[in-house]
Structure 1
Amino acid sequence: MTNAYQTATTPLAAPLADRFGHVDHWVFDLDNTLYPAHCNLFAQVDVRITDYIAQALGMEREAARLKQKEYYRLHGTSLRGMMIDHGMDPAPFLAYVHDIDVTPVAPSPLLADALKALPGRKVIFTNGSVRHAENVMARLGVADHFDGIFDIVAADYVPKPDPAPYATMIRRFGINPARAAMVEDLHRNLLPAAAAGMTTVWVRTDSEYSHPDPSAHAHPGDHVHHVIADVEAWLAEITAHLR
């Protein structure tokens, strides 16, 4: 597929027909994707992960933070590293780290209207928990417009971008990858989606998690088919052509 880098402000001529008319399944990441990265919910989660690891391993907080970041680099999530190296029960961890204040996320009637108008089924695919996804979706006011959530538990605690949870998610929701689009703020997480045949949309943000490799910020690779700056504005512009 030829790359088509675009931003949310690029004029779209018949966007569904020309770019996304084939899509009948929409797969959305949650954090820093459905809501703007400047809400910075992960800062809260990040602190709680460090605290949990410190308590679980009897470490000073600074050592626990180093361990947290090491596990993230090696295993994709700190949770995965703790499970592999320490046999940690994931349920209490997930309950603790996602017990956060979601009010920095503003309700978005515009996003809700756009999702309602968007043809096809919509799924959340997150390395977080169902509880966290439901809290964020409720805050945004979009919960009624999604057909399901595929979280880290459904993925058997194997995080994106490992290809295994993508295959499981595709089977569970009966997705034809050739007729699906995945929207995500971490461009590396779009690699397995593109390999499976999905159309990919990267939400480019200023978050360090979105582009840890600065050289990939402008052109992350051929696995990214579309680049946008804001999901709300992008979907509103797409669905405006349906009215």
Structure 2
Amino acid sequence: MAHELHGKATWIFDLDNTLYPAACDLFAQIDVKMGAYISRLLSVDLIEARRVQKDYFMQYGTTLAGLMRHHDIDPHDYLDYVHDIDVSVVMPDERMAKALAVLPGRKIVYTNGSAGHAARVMERLGITHLFEGTFDVLASDFIPKPDPGAFTALIEAYAIDPDDAVMVEDLAKNLIPAHDLGITTVWVPTASEWSRAGADGGFIDYVADDLSAWLAEVAGLAD
């Protein structure tokens, strides 16, 4: 049962489509910005830009990683551009805040995006004060999830004991390295094909269709 996780020492949360519901469609704004960036960079139409975008995402874990490898872009310029979006569609989540406050252990955000983007989203959710820190793609030297090297960097940066840690993530494949290290894995499925890719691999310990409700259950706050 999920309540067995109540005493874990470290909780690691992905950001986008995990800490806030995918229904916010916040990533759709980022998706549009990525397409526009690639279209301008490569002087191609938006259809070709989207093909490149998704090809790099599938090959390298993030579109940014592919752009850095093949086009030597400035990653800071890219991240500033694609994260210049309207986060007001993310609503405060009081139930999640209460659950996180009750759960013992450290809470860390681990994102393939930027810490600045994470800060804006967490402020909207009302949970900033409940987290020890954010490990973003800059902190991992631009090595994205699910590269095992990025997970090693996270563990070293925060002195995490994998056997006493939980990782929560919407992209199933990003949980594979966590599982291999001994971290308890929690998948937050969405309707996206990217979310479900590889989900049948036997590396998912828990499924949380509604993360706020699931955390409330773990914290002993469920109705």
| Structure 1: gaps of 5 or more residues | 1-11
Q: Is contact 2:13–2:169 with CA below 8 Å preserved after alignment?
A: yes
Give the corresponding residue for 1:36: 21
Provide, for residues 151-173 of structure 1, a one-character-per-residue CA deviation record: whole Å limited to 9, x for no partner. Answer: 11111111111101100000100
Give the corresponding residue for 1:178: 163
| Structure 2: gaps of 5 or more residues | none
More helix by share: 2
Q: Percent identity?
A: 48
Residues of 2 paired with 1:240 and 1:133: CA distance? 27
Residues of 2 paired with 1:23 and 1:205: CA distance? 25
Provide, for residues 181-205 of structure 1, a one-character-per-residue CA deviation record: whole Å limited to 9, x for no partner. Answer: 1011111111000101111111122
Give every structure 1 segment of 4 or more consecutive aligned residues whose post-TM-superposition deviation is greater than 6 Å.
Answer: none
Residues of 2 paired with 1:207 and 1:89: CA distance? 29
Q: Is contact 1:128–1:151 with CA below 8 Å preserved after alignment?
A: yes
Q: Is contact 1:34–1:231 with CA below 8 Å preserved after alignment?
A: yes
User: Displacement, 1:45?
Assistant: 0.4
Counterpart mapping for 1:104-119 below 5 A: 104-119=89-104
User: 58-67 vs 91-100, which deviates more?
Assistant: 58-67
User: Displacement, 1:22?
Assistant: 4.7
Give the corresponding residue for 1:135: 120
User: Displacement, 1:143?
Assistant: 0.3
Q: Is contact 2:18–2:168 with CA below 8 Å preserved after alignment?
A: yes
User: Displacement, 1:241?
Assistant: 5.7
Structure 1 length-normalised TM:
0.87
User: 54-63 vs 24-33, which deviates more?
Assistant: 54-63
Q: Is contact 1:123–1:146 with CA below 8 Å preserved after alignment?
A: yes
Residues of 1 paired with 2:122 and 2:57: CA distance? 25
User: Which of these residues, 178, 186, 201, is aligned with residue 193 of structure 1?
Assistant: 178
User: 202-211 vs 42-51, which deviates more?
Assistant: 202-211
Q: Is contact 2:11–2:106 with CA below 8 Å preserved after alignment?
A: yes
Distance of aligned partners of 1:241 and 1:110 in 2 relative to their CA distance in 1, 3 Å threshold = closer
State which structure, 1 or 2, has the greater radius of gyration over its C-alpha atoms.
1
User: Displacement, 1:21?
Assistant: 4.4
